[in-house]
Structure 1
Amino acid sequence: MRWPRFHTLRARLTAGLLVLLAVGCAAVGGAAVWELNGFLTDRLDQQLADAGNAFPASLEHPGGARDDHDGDERGDTRRQASGTLGARIVGGEVTNAAVVRPGGSVGGVVGVRVDGGDARALAAVPRDGHGHGVDLSGLGDYRVMAWPGRDGDTLITGLPLEPVEAAVHRLEIVAGGVFGLALAGAGVAGALWVRWSLRPLSHIADTATQVSGLPLADGTVALPARVPDARPRSEEVEQVTGAFNRMLGHVERALTRRQRSEERLRSFSADASHELRTPVASVRGHAELALLHPGPLPPEVRRALERITAESARMGVMVDDLLLLARLDAGRPLDLRSVDLTRLVLDVVTDARAAGPEHRWVLDLPQEPVVVSGDRHRLHQLLANLTANARLHTPPGTTVTVAVTREDGGAARVTVADDGPGVPSPLRAHLFERFVHGDGPRGAEGGGTGLGLSIVAAVAAAHGGSATVTSEPGATEFTVRLPRNPPTGPRATPDGGGAADG
């Protein structure tokens, strides 16, 4: 048997209350029925004791006595209740048996035939003057009492148990109805009481639901109002409410500190990137100017100047990337225009084919142009970073497939897939974070600054889209989804702005 499952505390408390009440009602009802049955049975025993053995003793008179019209020719029915049984047993056999007809002495008696089973049941009744219950097939349940007769026989007087059983059964019906109504009323009242008592917990759950729906990861630190004091007041509820409110306070303070720390870090990154652009460009310019000197340069000096030029160019790219991310974090507006993604992908793959001729580049473009509203310069950088990532982190001979499709909802989807070695599992969850590098052909030395994919995710988010990756050995796919029109107004994630603009 499978018991019903109650998924709410309210239902469990109400069900427990009803179960306890039902057990209590059953105990009270059972005790009342048992007590009434015992009381009425004792009354029958007293009535049998008062009646004595006169009626069964009178049954041994011969049936041909003179009729004096007093009704005792076949038995003495005086003071005998209707249905009284009288029986005379000699040698274990019933020799005489009769029942008083309705009407007492006026109605007389009716002789009854006793079969073997009933005879044995009557013969087994102890002659102790105490009441005993027997079940007679022809008469029903009887309460009987036996006495020794003067002739060595046994005299039995009995009264039917039907009135006792009827009274007990009526009490069972009445008690069942009353207790049923009481349980129904208690169930309704108990459900209302439990609901009222659990109102403070409902307030806590509502507040927790509001907090769980807040975009806390995006810098939101304004938590909803604390859980108010509610009736009914109890020590346990006050403890839970106080602990929950203190936890909200700790969370809010931690979020505020984190937000301030991130703002300081972004400000530093933007300021440092902006300030570094001029000296880095100056170093690179002086190195290139020195290389243009008409006079002969020692090989060591020329090699040093070439390395300075290369590293300053690499540092300039990193500074531009950091400045772009800082501006995206700051929510600078996009230069939204109609952008043909198919044409943009074609241009980016052409550039990638020139930069990485050792790879096999495949285009999968639809017949109709896929147009979105976006910042063309930022989207170009997004696609260029994806193709550069595939080129730098896969071995020569890898096939890179770039595809553009229009989804059913109107969003555009750009995928860059390759059959290279794949992204290591520990790296996959952090791939779009800043300064994340891999190693080996999927991230070997000289791979990049570790900012390319973070820029991809930031630009996609600035357009209201997303960037995801799936990877296994021999099949890696980066997917960027862009809505037809970016959302307007404040966005939950940092939005885009100009990158290389001064």
Structure 2
Amino acid sequence: MARGASAATAPIIPTRSGRAPWTLRRRLVVAVVGLLALVSLVIGVVSVAILSANLMDGLDRQVESAAERSSVAFGGGRPTGADFNIGTPTASKVLNGPSQPPGTLALVYDGSTVTTGYTDDTGTVVALSNDQVTQLLTELDAAVQEGSTSVPFTVDLGSDVGEYRVLAQAAPTGALYLVGLPVSSVTGTATQLALVIAVVSLAGIVLVAFLATAIVRLALRPLQRVTATATRVSELPLDRGEVLLVDRVPLADTDPRTEVGRVGSALNRMLDHVDIALETRQASENKVRQFVADASHELRTPLASIRGYSELTRRSGQELPPDAIHALGRIESESVRMTGLVEDLLLLARLDEGRELEREPVDLTRLLVDVVSDAHAVGRDHSWDLDLPDEPVLASGDGPRLHQVFANLLANARVHTDAGTRVHVSLTTEGPSAVVTVTDDGPGIPENLRATLFERFARGDSSRFRGTGGSTGLGLAIVQAVVLAHHGEVMVDSRPGRTSFRVALPLA
């Protein structure tokens, strides 16, 4: 069956489900911001680590200095200009020793007695809990066992006291003692530096994100212009007619020294080749159309003469042999068919040349009544239905040509469906258009014929013979050409058991 899906079938582009791909602009901005964030993180971590190590070294030296000053409490020396009673060494004497800073911690164990404490910000000695004393004694014992009494180490005494950097010492009297300073000064300074680096880095990342977006947008403008040129060319109807392919990438975007310039230059060269190919194709089509128009015009007179002479001979009243009568009848019928073919070719050639059709109000209601009546007279083995609105519907166009459009559609339904098929014709209005629908319940249109349905000389059967006579394959091509010349559209929807042609024409 020589019918199909639609006059113009748009390609279906498959879409992948899931997250949309990132644009080049987003990738570049994210890459720049990500690298800056990574560099800022590395710089911050290294800076805080180096500062913490330097501050910890300084704290260790302060602890060692505090331990040396604590030797006065064990008779290792007397402070100058002070009346310092040594007596029994205790943690309080260590903490109250000369120049001991606030927060100093001390533990003294003379073999039988343990004294501990630390000074707060006001210089008051605060005692440690039993668990904290036990922890310090354990650390002191471990340091003595390992022989690391001259190396400071860290002890965590809980949230109420915090971490301390302590140094274990052995007094000349045989007593053991610990002297320490809080680590909070080191951690506080490192935390402040980390916070400053984080705030500055975050502000820098935000600023760089805005700047990178602006710079990348500016850098990608040439690529956007190339894309815009390609998009405009892709929207041109290149499949038929004369095409003016004047769009080109601007000269500033075709510098071969840049990546975008090479793309723009390659696109311009491709468009030049396409332009030449389109001009060559159009010239060839014009020659063919001119030949068809000239040939059709020249064949009208000989065909009319052949038909006239055959009719004159057959009706001359002279008695002719049966074979001669049959031959003259065949000559007459073939001349009629050839005349129809020539007229169709000539009409298509004139439409291709862009000749304007007549523009006058056409009563589609009366026109469809005539067309369906003619189809019923020819195809009595089909069932014909007509659905018309109560009021006449006027379209702007060429009456004879529109009559030919609907006559071709009904003939198509009659020829390519079996006897008993129901053909329904309806007329409605939709907005500014009059819509005529021709629907049949035939076998439908094969899938492989839908793409070429409205092309010229398209046939659903490889043979050139139909039960009702020869088929030229121009019927639906004329339908599309005439409807498009009226600034309308023709579409078709087909499936087994239902085929529907839809013609929309502008109202008068």
Query: Is the TM value for this pair above 0.5?
Result: yes
Q: Specify which of 111, 115, 119 is matched with residue 96 of structure 1.
A: 115
What is the CA deviation profile of residues 193-234 of structure 1, one whole-angstrom value per residue up to 9, with x for unaligned ones?
211211210111111222123233343233313333249985
Residue of structure 2 equivalent to 1:177: 199
Q: How far is the alpha carbon of 1:385 from its aligned partner?
A: 0.9
Query: Relative to 1, partners in 2 of residues 1:233 and 1:167: Cα closer, same or farther, differing over 3 Å?
Result: farther
Residue 190 of structure 2 corresponds to residue 168 of structure 1: yes
Q: Which amino acid aligns with 2:326?
A: R
Is the alpha carbon distance of 1:231 and 1:121 closer, same or farther for their aligned partners in structure 2, counting shifts above 3 Å? farther
Q: 2:156 aligns with which of 128, 135, 154?
A: 135
Runs of 4+ in 1 over 6 A off after TM superposition: 3-6
> Displacement, 1:44?
0.7
Q: Give me the whole-angstrom Cα distance separating, in 2, the residues matched to 1:23 and 1:232.
A: 35
What are the superposed Cα offsets for residues 71-107 of structure 1, whole Å, 9 maximum, x if unpaired?
A: 877414114222111112467x98111224557xxx5
Q: Which amino acid aligns with 1:304?
A: A
Question: In the alignment, what sits opposite 1:75?
Answer: 93
Contact 1:404 1:412 in 2 (8 A): yes
1:262 aligns with 2:280: no
Name the CA distance, whole Å, in 1 between partners of 2:502 and 2:415: 18
Q: Does 1:198 align with 2:220?
A: yes
Q: AA paired with 1:22?
A: A
Q: Does 1:34 align with 2:49?
A: yes
Q: Does 2:62 align with 1:44?
A: no
What is the CA–CA distance in structure 2 between the aligned matches of 1:226 and 1:100, rounded to whole Å? 80
Contact persistence 1:132–1:145 (CA under 8 A):
yes
RMSD over aligned Cα atoms = 2.8
Partner of 1:491: none
Q: TM-score, normalised by structure 2?
A: 0.86
Kindly indicate whether residue 359 of structure 2 is the aligned counterpart of residue 336 of structure 1. Answer: yes
Contact 2:256 2:262 (C-alpha < 8 Å) held by counterparts: no
Structure with the greater relative contact order (CA < 8 A, sep ≥ 6): 1 or 2? Answer: 2
Deviations 1:452-492 (A, max 9, x none): 1111111110111111111122211111000114xxxxxxx
SS in structure 2 at match of 1:229: helix
How do 1:410-421 residues align onto structure 2 when only pairs under 5 Å count? 410-421=432-443
User: 2: CA distance between counterparts of 1:141 and 1:115?
Assistant: 17
Does the CA contact (< 8 Å) of 2:249 and 2:265 recur in 1? no
Q: Identity of counterpart residues, as a percentage? A: 43
Q: Structure 1 length normalisation: TM-score?
A: 0.87
Q: 5 Å matches for 1:18-29?
A: 18-29=33-44
Residues in 2 aligned to 1:14 and 1:4: alpha-carbon distance in whole angstroms: 19
Q: Secondary structure at the match of 2:251?
A: coil
CA distances 1:20-46 after superposition (whole Å, capped 9, x unpaired): 000000100110001000100000111
Aligned with residue 407 of structure 2, among 365, 384, 388: 384
Q: CA separation in 1, counterparts of 2:19 and 2:494?
A: 46
Alignment of 1:43-442 (within 5 A): 43-52=58-67, 54-55=69-70, 58=73, 70=84, 74-76=92-94, 77-89=97-109, 95-100=114-119, 110-117=125-132, 119-124=134-139, 126-127=143-144, 128=148, 129-137=150-158, 138-150=160-172, 153-219=175-241, 220-230=243-253, 235-407=258-430, 409-439=431-461
Change in 2 beyond 3 A, CA 1:299/1:215: same
CA 1:170–1:72: 2 relative to 1, 3 Å: farther
Deviations 1:268-324 (A, max 9, x none): 111111111111222222222232343332332222222211111111100000000
* Whole-angstrom CA distance in 2 between matches of 1:110 and 1:123: 22
Conserved 8 A contact 2:74-2:86: no
Structure 2 unaligned runs (5+)? 1-17, 77-81
Verify the 8 A CA contact 2:248 2:271 in the aligned structure 1.
Answer: no
Q: For residues 239 and 449 of structure 2, what CA distance do their matches in structure 1 show?
A: 21
Is the CA contact 1:200–1:231 (under 8 Å) kept in the aligned structure 2? no
Deviations along 1:378-405, one digit per CA (max 9) or x if unpaired, are 1111111111111212222211111111
Distance 1:298 1:430 in 2: 46
Question: Structure 1 stretch 73-82 or stretch 200-209: which is displaced more?
Answer: 73-82
Distance 1:197 1:368, change over 3 A: same
Q: 1:500 is matched with which residue?
A: none
Q: Aligned residue pairs: how many?
A: 471
Contact 1:422–1:471, Cα closer than 8 Å, also in 2:
yes
Q: Distance in 2 between matches of 1:214 and 1:94?
A: 101
Determine if contact 1:18/1:187 at 8 Å carries over to the other structure: yes
What amino acid is aligned across from residue 185 of structure 1 in structure 2?
L
2:473 equivalent to 1:450: yes
Q: Which amino acid aligns with 2:178?
A: I
Which one of 470, 473, 479 corresponds to residue 502 of structure 2? Answer: 479
Deviations 1:321-377, CA, capped at 9 Å, x for gaps: 000001111111111111110000001111111111221111111111111111111
Distance 2:108 2:432 in 1: 105
Q: Does the CA contact (< 8 Å) of 1:84 and 1:99 recur in 2?
A: yes
